Amino acid sequence: MNGVDQALQKHSWIEDVWGMLTGTFLASLGLYLLGEALAVTGGTAGLGLLLSYASDIPVAVMFPLVNIPFFALALWKKGWSFTLRTIIAVLLVSALTLLHPVMLAGVDVDPVYGTFTGNLLAGVGLLILFRHRSSLGGINILALLVQERLGWSAGYVQMGIDVLIIVAALMVSPWPSVLLSAAGAVVLNLILALNHRPGRYTGY
């Protein structure tokens, strides 16, 4: 592929803005469904949910707090553009998690449906953000760095780390909920593993 063809595949700023809005909306809806199902998932989203359950602090507050150390990692390894996009994405997800309870007030979410649908939506949202040079911080940044340096799939790297996080959830959640959460996290990471591989997607 020559330089002209590659340049033609770059996302415009309008496409990036729309992609980030779409990705953060889907991810926030997924996070809301996970919270309604009292489920956990991997990454900083999972840590945010766990700490929210344990402390009664809303996940909209806990999620960006958990990500603060990883913003520094992103700045060090990925530069200002990626870091600013990631900070914006995290803040948008946090803000949108406050919208869904208002719009879906009174809706009972089945735990199985909420866990699997929440992870599916979060996975698709993350995939969109990855393709627009952004992430939701935390483990996503670490997984992307490993993919760039070693060529390992970001989805599989994140899956391994997420297993450790979900096992740790046994300290605050009953084991049936943890098993269901683990199955849901596999769904999320398979979406990334099967759709976000080095060289598969050239638009950026």
Residue 80 domain boundaries? 9-195
Other C-beta atoms lying within 10 Å of the C-beta of residue 164: 9
Any domain includes 174: yes
Any domain includes 2: no
- pLDDT value, residue 61: 94
- Residues 31 and 122: beta-carbon distance below 8 Å: yes
- Residues 131 and 203: beta-carbon distance below 8 Å: yes
- pLDDT value, residue 66: 92
- pLDDT value, residue 135: 84
Closest C-alpha to 97, from 49, 56, 165, 51: 49
Any domain includes 109: yes
Any domain includes 204: no
Any domain includes 202: no
Neighbouring residues of 11: CB distance < 8 A, sequence distance ≥ 6? 19, 132, 203, 204
Any domain includes 203: no
**Distance between CA atoms of 7 and 192, rounded to whole angstroms?**
25
pLDDT tens sequence for the chain (204 residues): 444 444 446 778 788 899 999 999 999 999 999 999 989 888 888 889 988 988 889 999 999 999 998 888 888 877 898 889 999 999 999 999 999 999 998 889 999 999 999 999 999 999 999 888 888 877 767 777 788 788 888 777 877 777 777 887 888 778 888 899 989 988 887 888 788 765 665 555
Count of domains observed in the chain: 1
